[in-house]
Amino acid sequence: MHRYVIVNAFSDRVLAGNPVAVFFDCDDLEPEIMQRIAAEMRLSESTFVSCPRSGGDAHVRIFTPVNELGFAGHPLLGTALALSLRLKKTTLNIETAKGIFPFTLENARLRSDLPVAHVDMLQPSPIIQPYAQAEALMLALGVSHSTLPIEQYDVGPRHVFVGITDIQTLAALNPDQRALAQHENMAALCFCHDGNYWRLRMFSPAYGVVEDAATGSAAGPLALHLARHGWSDFDQPLEIWQGIEIGHPSKMYGMAHRDGGTYRLYAGGQAIQVAQGTYAI
């Protein structure tokens, strides 16, 4: 029997944000079983917490319904809230396949008797390169051009950013999922400026997600993409909204810091624990 909780990341409300299932005490589970559980949960990701191996507070593995990820934003942000409640700590070092990452929790409180907190996280430094299949990707998305170069940011999951000219076009996107599925091991991130904040939509048949409500691992890379091309400033926190079109509005913050030729990426947002249970395995 394994206890689990469900946390909505990047929101402080039920039926909003992006849910992640967090399973505890998973040292006895084989990766194949974790993958099967993640497929049954039918969430974009599930996480499996085990004892630390490298001096952190916990070791976490992340699974989509179809594969394992070395790093992912919203699952780890939600896991950080669940671990904070379990360990009674507001600073955490979480071990992942991509390394150990620090998390800080602030403004912990109850909302309708449900635990809520703001969580900040450091993200991996990305590997950046032009996306070789840009023309085919635009065709699959149904867009004629991108407002910025179409580039891939590899932070564990691979994010490919496509700039959309206006909010109406972004909201109306209806990708050809079969054509998009030909793009392996990547997520298509379509973004557009909307006044004082940025809007984002993510499509990834490759990761088993038709559309994601909140792609936390893309928040820092989006801030970096915009700063590299002069559309925002380094060290400027960006407010990013996602999931509006699928009825799960999510608010994220992303920021990029430049230190010579290297980058440090940050992301943050609210999280709320909305459910708990026991899985009989």
For residue range 120-136, list pLDDT tens digits in order.
999 999 999 999 999 99
Predicted TM-score (pTM) of the model is: 0.94
Choose among 212, 201, 197: nearest CA to 169. Answer: 201
pLDDT at residue 211 greater than cutoff 90? yes
pLDDT at residue 111 greater than cutoff 90? no
Choose among 8, 22, 14: nearest CA to 82. Answer: 22
Strands 68-69 and 209-212: unpaired
Angle at 74 between CA 29 and CA 152, to 5 degrees: 105
Report CA-CA distances (Å) from 33 to 24, 65, 68: 14, 12, 12
Q: Given this model, what pLDDT does residue 260 score?
A: 87
Q: Given this model, what pLDDT does residue 208 score?
A: 87
pLDDT at residue 94 greater than cutoff 90? yes
Q: Given this model, what pLDDT does residue 17 score?
A: 96
Catalytic residue chosen out of the listed positions 32, 45, 135, 184: 45
Tens digits of per-residue pLDDT, 119-178?
Answer: 999 999 999 999 999 999 999 999 999 999 999 999 999 999 999 999 999 999 999 999
Strands (E) in the chain, as ranges, are 2-9, 18-23, 46-50, 58-63, 68-69, 91-96, 99-111, 114-123, 127-130, 151-154, 158-163, 187-194, 197-204, 209-212, 238-242, 250-259, 262-279
* Region 239-254 average pLDDT: 98
CATH of domain 127-264: 3.10.310.10
Which residues of the chain are in CATH 3.10.310.10 domains? Answer: 2-121+269-279, 127-264
Q: Would residue 45 show up in a list of annotated catalytic residues for this protein? A: yes
Q: Given this model, what pLDDT does residue 112 score?
A: 83
Residue 281: pLDDT band by 50, 70, 90 thresholds? confident
Q: What is the C-alpha separation between 170 and 111, in angstroms, rounded? A: 32
CATH 2.40.160.40 assigned to domain 2-121+269-279? The reply is no
CA 75 to chain CA mean position, Å:
6
Q: Given this model, what pLDDT does residue 261 score?
A: 85
Q: What is the CA radius of gyration of the chain?
A: 18
